[in-house]
Amino acid sequence: MSEITLDHHLFSFGEGDVEAMLEDYTEDSIIIIPNVVIRGLDQIRDFFTNLTTEVLPPGCNFELLEKVVEGNIGYLVWHAESDGYKIPYASDTFVFEDDKILVQTVAFILHEKE
């Protein structure tokens, strides 16, 4: 079932549907990005709202290079580009519990375009 949750997350992200993405998390979920820990649904909502409106809006050039799901662990490698930003490399790791994303880590290189 973890793969179904991950596929739902990816589809919802591509659509820019933040509320649908939040269905994959719980109040106990965390997202770890460089220098920040995002906790709970309100902070996760703010994170994805910014990401899908400012950095990588729907229709941007997003390419999933690798997706691996083993048990309750998911791993993605991707790159993306929008009008304002370029992410030449990114990697996400997911830990699932009861078909929800309990922990997500995101490592990325982000360049703002001039």
Written as one string, the DSSP assignment of 27-80 is EEEEEEETTEEEEHHHHHHHHHHHIIIIIS-TTSEEEEEEEEEETTEEEEEEEE
Residue 114 binned pLDDT confidence (cut-offs 50, 70, 90): confident
The CATH class given to the 2-112 domain equals alpha beta
Is 1's pLDDT higher than 90?
A: no
C-beta separation of 57 from 80 below 8 A: no
C-beta separation of 64 from 10 below 8 A: yes
Average pLDDT of the residues in 86-97: 98
Instruction: Give the pLDDT confidence of 75-91 residue by residue, as tens digits.
Output: 999 999 999 999 999 99
Instruction: Give the pLDDT confidence of 4-29 residue by residue, as tens digits.
Output: 999 999 999 999 999 999 999 999 99
Instruction: Give the pLDDT confidence of 58-74 residue by residue, as tens digits.
Output: 999 999 999 999 999 99
Element (H, E) at 99: none
Biggest distance spanned by C-alpha atoms of the chain: 43
Average pLDDT of the residues in 45-49: 97
- Every domain of the chain and the residues it spans: 2-112
